[in-house]
Amino acid sequence: MRITEADILVIPGYRGSEPTHWQSRWEGRMSTARRVHQREWTKPVREDWVQAIAEAVNESVKPVVLVAHSLGVAAAVQAIPLFEKRVAGAFFVAPPDVANPLLRPRHLMTFGPYPRDPLPFPSVVVASRNDPFSTFEAAEEAAGAWGSLFIDAGESGHLNHESGHGPWPEGLLTFGKFISGLKLEEQRSGEA
């Protein structure tokens, strides 16, 4: 699949993705990318975030590819039962450990725990060994439960602008390789 054949849904995490964040930069470079907007970025309500993602997926006309970061991953995974259209794939970066009682701010825990069923579409999880919002082991365990390809990003912090991942060209190359491996025919044959 090529990027132009998909609706790329950019799903930011807590506080959104500022203009220097890799998600914002990628969104600006991909003609078919659009951001899933949330009513409240700093006081996220799980039901609202999940509904916004489900609506964006269900309004799409092309096969959907999710590009989620941090709390956006948690919301996207929680939204899957509400999807009326098949998702072709998901690229998940820095999923937080929403079951960890030490997670701050504490209201982020309302997005957990993660479902542990295999995802109904191909996916990649990219995680760092020193992410302040999740242990490497928790991210690896979630990826295993979901059947996701797991990518070790080394000691990369939260994989955001603050950790030096503004444009994040390595991530874009990995995403390009992932999306090129998705089969457009599978998406079309799965539609009613």
Of 111 and 183, the structure prediction assigns the larger pLDDT to 111
What's the average model confidence in pLDDT over 9-20? 96
Q: Model confidence over 75-113: pLDDT tens digits?
A: 999 999 999 998 999 999 999 999 998 888 888 899 999
Cα separation of 33 and 94, whole Å? 20
Q: Does the pLDDT value for residue 60 go beyond 50?
A: yes
The answer on pLDDT for 187 being more than 60 is no
Calpha distance 112→108 (Å, rounded): 8
Give the pLDDT of residue 185: 52
> Mean per-residue pLDDT for 149-166?
91
Q: What percent of the chain has pLDDT over 70?
A: 96
Average of per-residue pLDDT values in the chain: 93
Side-chain-facing half-sphere of 166: CA atoms under 13 Å: 2
Give the 3-state secondary structure of 9-76: EEECCCCCCCCCCHHHHHHHHCCCEEECCCCCCCCCCHHHHHHHHHHHHHHCCCCEEEEEECHHHHHH
Q: Are 2 and 180 in contact (CB under 8 A)?
A: yes
**Average pLDDT of span 183-190:** 52
Helix (H) or strand (E) holding 191: none
Q: Give percent of the chain above pLDDT 90.
A: 85
- pLDDT of the residue at 189: 37
Pick the CATH number of 3-183 from 3.40.50.300, 3.10.20.310, 3.40.50.1820, 3.30.450.30: 3.40.50.1820
Q: How far is the CA of 16 from the CAs of 70, 78, 155, in angstroms?
A: 10, 18, 23
Closest CA to 49 of 18, 24, 74, 85: 74
End-to-end CA gap in the chain: 20
pLDDT at 56 over 60: yes
What pLDDT, on the 0 to 100 scale, is given for residue 161? Answer: 82
Q: How is the chain split into domains, by residue range?
A: 3-183
Distance separating alpha carbons of residues 68 and 90, to the nearest angstrom = 8
What is the model's pLDDT at position 188?
41
What pLDDT is attached to residue 190?
Answer: 42
Whether pLDDT at 183 is above 80: yes
146 Cβ contact list (under 8 Å, min separation 6): 77, 116, 117, 118, 119, 123, 125
